[in-house]
Structure 1
Amino acid sequence: MLSAIKYIFKYREKAVDRVMLYVSLLCALAVLFHLGYNTDVFTAQRFTVITAWLFYGLYVLSVLRTVLSIWIAKRVMVAHYGGLALLLYFVIVALARQTDVGVLSFLRQAEWLHLGIFAVFLTELSKSSLFFDNFYFNPTILFVISFLALILIGTLLLMLPRTTPGQQSLGFVDALFMATSGVCITGLSVIDVASRLTVFGQTVLLILVQLGGLGIMTFTGFFGYFFSGGFSFKNQLMYSEILGHNKVGSVINTLFKIVFITLFFEAIGAVLIYASVSAEDFESGGKRLFFAIFHAVSAFCNAGFSTVSDGMSHPLLRFNYNVQLIIALLFILGGFGFSIVLNTYTFIKRWVVNIFKRIFYGRPFVYRAWVISFNSRLIAWVTAILIVFGTLSTFVLEYEHTLAEHQGFWAKLVSAFFTGTSSRTAGFNIADMDAFTFPTIMLIMLLMWIGASPGSTGGGIKTTTFAIAFLNIVSLARGKDDLEIFKRKISNDTVNKAFAIIMLSLLAMGVSVFALTITDGDKNLLDIAFECFSAYATCGLSLGITPHLSDGGKVIITITMFIGRVGMLTLLVALIKNTRNRNFAYPQEKVLF
């Protein structure tokens, strides 16, 4: 008997993983049926008992699987860490449900059973997520497919009856629109998230925003490595291309840092938001906590969704300047890009270590050239300029209009800062969009088009693209043949790519505006153009026509959001075959302008 078990876990471990995947999938589907589809009271009561049995059943299977795997390996490996963490979770939840320990009383709710079951399914799925290296997909195509698959799954989940209160569930077009808006972290909505979605529906939307913000491949890669114990070399090559990382050997470390930074800032933001809102404004502590977590994730991922009717323009939030500052800092950090955050962390860490060694050991400072990389410097300068420009412009243009209701200079400055920075990609608004002056609307459209920084959770053509194109125009005006920034020469292919991205963005938005004038010709042209700019830039601001679009118009905006998220140039690279490199060059000619 023991020899058979040893043989199975040593040579047929993939078969064990497959069995656990199928079992956990069935359990997860049962819970999903209970949460999202079943509306019968008697069946719901039965499923409450069944869910507990499923939880304990998976607990027993996980114990056997993890213990036997460690026994066969005769040591604890990286692949066992995830299983041990899950076992600890199971033990704590089971202890809370079977004892009267007051500290653990909050863990007796059924939601913790659901979380445990989905966690087991996620771990088993992540072990199988690295099989993509068996397919000869271009990483760019795989990136696009992952977004399409996540949108499809999100659409099906949002169509479940218990996603919405009452008997009327979301139709396919509305569910597709909301799923795409969540995955593409846009924030445009055809429904009121606060009233038309239940807690289950809002949770689905929250998960779509989180996965879409970082990319489903980032999450599956992280958990796949953590629970399977390693990456193959082909996995490392694939993820290095998806993440845009040059060093294959450090792609795992980069993947870990991206996930850690995201969860760290979201957790800090949720705590600060929780402390900045009054408990009297919520029915319970749980709803207050969910509000804080939802807005922290939505802000850092630059999604712009809110669980409050009218969003940030609700009276409870419109004048809560502490919450505005917290949310603004979150979407600015999310819009910076992970590379600049990591680079800044390295810079600060080096200085802290130098100061520590100088004070306690008397060692001299160790200097290193270009600790802050070229891209980080460029992104930091452009972002700072855009923040100051957006804040001051909004302050001046709206001082006698939307800012008039905010009392005091500080209140007006914070509101202008929030509006000026949110316009680039976050999509939160603390005032009625119809109340803005026409110059402010045009300013917002410009900021939306520029967007956030590369490698971030934001959209738009990216700050670096705009900077390269603008500085290249200045360079040409000065009669220079080459573009130089920070004493570095910018390559010609970078300049060409910047102008290609700009041209493609204008083309995509132009086609979207033209298509909307056909499907929704009764709408104002400014409203249509603003909607298309917002969709392509994945910003989420609207002049109020989103819920009133026809089904054809909703599909057009859905496609525009998807193209804006993955990038028009990315789609062309994925769809057009690579041409063979030639060993010769044609004679050069100059074109008249």
Structure 2
Amino acid sequence: MDLARLKKREINPHQWSVIGFAVIIFIGAILLALPSSSTSGKSIGFLDALFTSTSAVCVTGLVVLDTGSDFTLLGQGIILLLIQIGGMGFMVYGVIIALLLGKKIGLRQRVFIQESTKSASIQGLVKLVLSIVVITLSFEAAGAFVLWLRWMPELGVGESAYYAVFHAVSSFNNAGFGLWSDSLVRYVGDPIVNIVISFLFIFGGIGFIVIVDIVKKRRWSLFALHTKIVLLISALLTVGGFILILILELLNPAVFGGLSWSEKLWAAYFQSVTTRTAGFNSVDLGGLLTATQFLMVFLMFVGASSGSTGGGIKTNTLMILLVAMYSSIRGRSQVHIFKRKISHNIVLSALSVILLSLGLVLFVSFLLTITEGGKEFIDLLFEATSAFGTVGMSVGITPDLTPAGKMIIIFTMFAGRLGPLTLAFALARKLKVSKIGYPEEKILVG
């Protein structure tokens, strides 16, 4: 009887996502643990390899070892491949391989792709996957070319090409892995590096569906509601973050000390954008004011947009909740924006995502206070939120984490990349539609 049930039980798309990412992370960890992946010629140990692999596949960027100095060219190549797979999603590669082999994409596979790409429909998914590949490679190639030209005078033709490709791929996939130990601090006032890197993770962070919509329609009035919401809230968060970071850190000598006015403006802009997505930093984060850390915690918690390479609760989720709150305060029975109604189911999903995510971040922060005794709570909250939002920013405590702390952050990065709802649906039993209706009764709220 039990065997028959097991045979009938099917793995749903959410479970496939969990299994797929877990398998890729495990394979990556084995490869990174090889002595040939380390510059020391010795294995870095499975735990550090697992941490690095998870950070790469989940496009986070938190590191316990220096990518540029502790890993060989082979190790760096493995990390870059894991970033690319994790950024686009393993299902995208599955479709490409199937098409190359001449196989058809069935309905079941299309459902899996829909979950992986966060598409609203199963129609046109193969074209969407091909568009994702073209968009990704185009942005990465363009970014790498400009960075190559910029770095060629100081690094030479070959090394500058390698650095350009690595940072372009890492940027567009919102990974935050870099080959310099100080991230991009040396280029704090460099317009070319700031613009190219930030544009790569901005476009990577708004999502493939939004990019395709912009390319096809090209007019604001024709854009889908999702596209309008993502562009609006992303712009508001970027501008708001820039202004607040500039005001808070303007007189802080530990961060902006010694910088010219133009460098301060570039630094504030760059940190506003990178905090929600990539995790690169152009200033020393260890000297941030507590108020700025709290601001960045909020930005990291929000993260990028649905269907993108970034994490967090997503910009569109925040916007839906804000619009729902506004509608409730105004006494409206419907939630609508841009002359379009948002269903109550979507509002409930947005609320579920935010509450589950908030609970996860707070619980992880609580666990870290136990395993990482002696560290400031704001630093631990910063680390936990960075892992959940797959941002990769740190005030410098990541390499000093205990083994238990590393395992906690590994789980948090994994949960952040998949999303709390995906994990919840993966663990839940098959959903059953209830045919029972209950009488309504009012309760007190607030």
Instruction: Please give the range of the TM-score, normalised by the shorter of the 2 chains.
Output: over 0.9
Aligned-partner Cα distance in 2 for 1:506–1:251: 32
Asked if 2 retains the 8 angstrom alpha-carbon contact of 1:424 and 1:539, the reply is: yes
- Give the aligned residue type for 2:246: F
Residue number in structure 2 paired with 1:230: 104
Residue number in structure 2 paired with 1:296: 168
Aligned-partner Cα distance in 2 for 1:302–1:192: 18
1:524 and 2:376 correspond = yes
Q: TM-score, normalised by structure 2?
A: 0.94
Aligned-partner Cα distance in 1 for 2:165–2:99: 26
Deviation at 1:480, TM superposition (A): 2.0
Deviation at 1:143, TM superposition (A): 1.2
Aligned-partner Cα distance in 1 for 2:145–2:58: 26
Residue number in structure 1 paired with 2:147: 273
Residue number in structure 2 paired with 1:202: 76
The aligned runs of 1:304-383 (5 Å cut-off) are 304-313=176-185, 315=186, 317-348=187-218, 371-383=222-234
1:538 and 2:410 correspond = no
Deviation at 1:497, TM superposition (A): 0.8
Query: What does the per-residue CA deviation read over 1:2-55, in whole Å, with 9 as the maximum and x for residues that have no partner?
Result: xxxxxxxxxxxxxxxxxxxxxxxxxxxxxxxxxxxxxxxxxxxxxxxxxxxxxx
Matched pairs, number: 436
- Give the aligned residue type for 1:403: F
**436, 441, 445: which one aligns with 1:589:** 441
**405, 419, 444: which one aligns with 2:258:** 405
The aligned runs of 1:146-295 (5 Å cut-off) are 146-280=20-154, 282=155, 284-295=156-167
In structure 2, runs of 5+ residues without a counterpart are: 1-7
Asked if 2 retains the 8 angstrom alpha-carbon contact of 1:346 and 1:371, the reply is: no
Query: What does the per-residue CA deviation read over 1:239-293, in whole Å, with 9 as the maximum and x for residues that have no partner?
Result: 234333344341111110011101110000000111112433x2x4222111000
Residue 370 of structure 2 aligns to a residue whose secondary structure is: helix
Residue number in structure 2 paired with 1:456: 308
Query: What does the per-residue CA deviation read over 1:154-204, in whole Å, with 9 as the maximum and x for residues that have no partner?
Result: 000000101111233211110100000000001000111111111111111
Q: TM-score, normalised by structure 1?
A: 0.71
Residue 245 of structure 1 aligns to a residue whose secondary structure is: coil
- Give the aligned residue type for 2:206: F
Deviation at 1:227, TM superposition (A): 3.1
Aligned-partner Cα distance in 1 for 2:379–2:153: 38
The aligned runs of 1:108-127 (5 Å cut-off) are none
Residue 142 of structure 1 aligns to a residue whose secondary structure is: helix
Asked if 1 retains the 8 angstrom alpha-carbon contact of 2:174 and 2:204, the reply is: yes
Residue 168 of structure 1 aligns to a residue whose secondary structure is: coil
Q: Give the structure with the higher percent helix.
A: 1
Deviation at 1:232, TM superposition (A): 3.1
Residue number in structure 1 paired with 2:5: none
Asked if 1 retains the 8 angstrom alpha-carbon contact of 2:188 and 2:266, the reply is: no
Asked if 1 retains the 8 angstrom alpha-carbon contact of 2:61 and 2:279, the reply is: yes
Deviation at 1:496, TM superposition (A): 0.7
- Give the aligned residue type for 1:346: K
Residue 489 of structure 1 aligns to a residue whose secondary structure is: strand
Asked if 2 retains the 8 angstrom alpha-carbon contact of 1:425 and 1:451, the reply is: yes
In structure 1, runs of 5+ residues without a counterpart are: 1-133, 352-368
Asked if 1 retains the 8 angstrom alpha-carbon contact of 2:36 and 2:42, the reply is: no
Deviation at 1:135, TM superposition (A): 9.5
Residue number in structure 2 paired with 1:45: none
**333, 338, 363: which one aligns with 1:486:** 338
Aligned-partner Cα distance in 1 for 2:283–2:259: 11
Asked if 2 retains the 8 angstrom alpha-carbon contact of 1:424 and 1:451, the reply is: yes
Aligned-partner Cα distance in 2 for 1:327–1:412: 17
Residue 222 of structure 2 aligns to a residue whose secondary structure is: coil
Residue number in structure 1 paired with 2:269: 417
Query: What does the per-residue CA deviation read over 1:79-119, in whole Å, with 9 as the maximum and x for residues that have no partner?
Result: xxxxxxxxxxxxxxxxxxxxxxxxxxxxxxxxxxxxxxxxx
